[in-house]
Structure 1
């Protein structure tokens, strides 16, 4: 009986291995999906296609999948502890979804990998798909759908990417690359830049710039292995119809913050004698900015989002300004509060100028606070 069990086990193992082995006619491709119009799709997407006509296999493996049904989903998302995973779907379903429902271009690069390398890619994906391996902690800049695929190709074909020669992928920071995909006059753009700290302003190497699917596609097109181009064919699986151009949003952050700053400047100069009006205005202003400052401070200090650490914005969105406003706005001439206001003004303007060096919109966010600090520290103390 023992020998029968061993024989059966060996047969099942052989069958399982055979089912997970690609034929000589198989191919492995990098598929790049163009950016879409929704926030989650702004940066595009990338996946690995494994196609084997002998077995009918045609899978699209995708990193960066998450489940909305995860317990405490929003809290884990905010904390940076939401588990992401590897998943796969039939390529026909993927093509239909992005073509018919999202109208996003799909481009395929068929890779000139030998049979052993194709099987290595396939086995790596299958191993990563095991329940004990498929979940990981997603990092937008460091560990996402594109960087994981980059690492698989580098492991399968060492030296495939000529990083030193990819000059077009050098010279920009993580933040700079991100902003290339974001609309200028957008609350999302301002919010994302506000939340990022100094780690996002590190200059990304060519390899690190491949956290973006488009950059990984560019690097792959230049890749070589054993003096041969790694891409043997480039195909467009679907060409999206052009979207209607987005007009200027009058309710976007640029006009709204400019109007708020202008009104504060006007009210501060024309109604300096209306102490009650300006006191109420300061309470409202510092309450809103105080809550925002608390959120940014929380993201910078109490989450697993490394790129949000060391955030200069915390200095002009200083959280304790909100509770203290009840005193310094009502008594701006008292010696203690006069010193506090003047220090807060200079800290805010210096921090805003530093932040603006990395992203100009951050100064615009700080401008209403700077205006009120200026008048509280200079105008009313005369």
Structure 2
């Protein structure tokens, strides 16, 4: 069965090669809404090609990947995960999204025969085995940017590129309002580059943004989008998480607990957790090929130094080192606040109660250490 499908698609492609330019060819952008999985939060894009004369209706999909590939998540974070261009029967493609209660919007493009020819030629070239694989990058190279580049490089429109009022971080976060923990985690590992101003062209790295901008553009004095068709009225909606499970609320409650609780065990646990998370964030920032994860100022307040501090607390040794380390950690938190105020990088609101917790603990270490040192010196003198 699989062999028959591949053979059929191959014959369709060969058929396209022989018939264009053809007035009966139609090209459409397909924009799919968000799904339930975290990686589906931003939707999906694909391009549909219909040739009525040859009963051909196929969809080129740049978003195929092997979820079962060895070290999938590690490759994804490192920027070494290969996506590929695939061809699907359009009905199968659309029905797969409808079955997940996801909308598919089709925008039929108003193109000349020459533009259609160039687009099809480019797709055929990219579908060759040596070209169909590419390294995925969330902002720079994905299923939507491939289609954006394909359309804008082969269609002469009146599009004017200009700076927007948004950053990539803002655009990404817009789709995570119903997933506060996912939003917190993603913003924790993203660096300062995603806080820079982004122009209209680069903002089209997400499906909805490409769809909206295409709807504004004119081509040969007419709208580039002839008309739109909506498949499936249902739309996946995230269940709003209870307020009590919101990370910011949880961190605020924890801050009050820390304020009135002097348990050293809780302090050690929090420092170990902070150190491990800091080590993970640092590893991602250093070893990932994604530029969006570089230059991450979150490492100022969330860093591996807390592991050293936890060890010193457990062993109750090197009091002077512990004091200096806590002073350093306090200074780094202050620098983080300055970075936030200066708008060099945005931080999640949950950072504030976490910062308060760390300030309380580090101040206690400094105060306790100084008192210990003062008492010890008095004992030594009295002897």
When normalised by structure 1's length, the TM-score is 0.85
327-336 vs 174-183, which moves further:
327-336
Partner of 2:141: 143
Partner of 1:95: 94
Q: Which runs of 4+ in 1 moved over 6 A?
A: none
Shift in Å, 1:373: 1.4
Partner of 2:332: 347
Shift in Å, 1:350: 2.7
Are 2:381 and 1:370 aligned? no
Partner of 1:74: 73
* CA shift in 2, pair 1:20/1:331, >3 Å: farther
* CA shift in 2, pair 1:42/1:16, >3 Å: closer
Q: 2:210 aligns with which of 205, 216, 223?
A: 216
Q: Distance in 2 between matches of 1:184 and 1:364?
A: 21
340-349 vs 53-62, which moves further:
340-349
Shift in Å, 1:154: 1.0
* CA shift in 2, pair 1:31/1:307, >3 Å: same
Q: 1:158 aligns with which of 156, 159, 173?
A: 156
Matches within 5 A, 1:1-382: 18-19=17-18, 21=20, 23-100=22-99, 102-164=100-162, 170-183=164-177, 186-241=180-235, 243=237, 245-268=239-262, 277-278=263-264, 280-327=265-312, 334-352=319-337, 354-355=339-340, 358-359=346-347, 360-378=349-367, 381-382=370-371
Shift in Å, 1:158: 2.9
Shift in Å, 1:211: 0.7
110-119 vs 344-353, which moves further:
344-353
Shift in Å, 1:242: 6.5
Shift in Å, 1:19: 4.4
Q: Deviations over 1:223-270 (max 9, x none)?
A: 1223222111122122225647524252331232122221111113xx
Q: Distance in 1 between matches of 2:363 and 2:317?
A: 11
323-332 vs 245-254, which moves further:
323-332
337-346 vs 361-370, which moves further:
361-370
Q: Distance in 2 between matches of 1:151 and 1:381?
A: 62
Q: Distance in 2 between matches of 1:202 and 1:69?
A: 35
SS in 2 for 1:207: helix
SS in 2 for 1:246: coil
- Asked if the contact 2:157/2:220 (under 8 Å) is kept, the reply is no
- RMSD, aligned α-carbons: 2.5
**How many residues are aligned here?**
355
SS in 2 for 1:54: helix
Partner of 1:9: none
SS in 1 for 2:120: helix
183-192 vs 301-310, which moves further:
183-192
Q: Distance in 2 between matches of 1:365 and 1:59?
A: 51
Q: Deviations over 1:166-188 (max 9, x none)?
A: x7xx1111001111111266211
Shift in Å, 1:155: 1.2
Shift in Å, 1:107: 1.0
When normalised by structure 2's length, the TM-score is 0.85
Gaps of 5+ in 2: 1-10, 372-383
Partner of 1:6: none
Gaps of 5+ in 1: 1-11, 269-276
- Asked if the contact 2:102/2:236 (under 8 Å) is kept, the reply is no
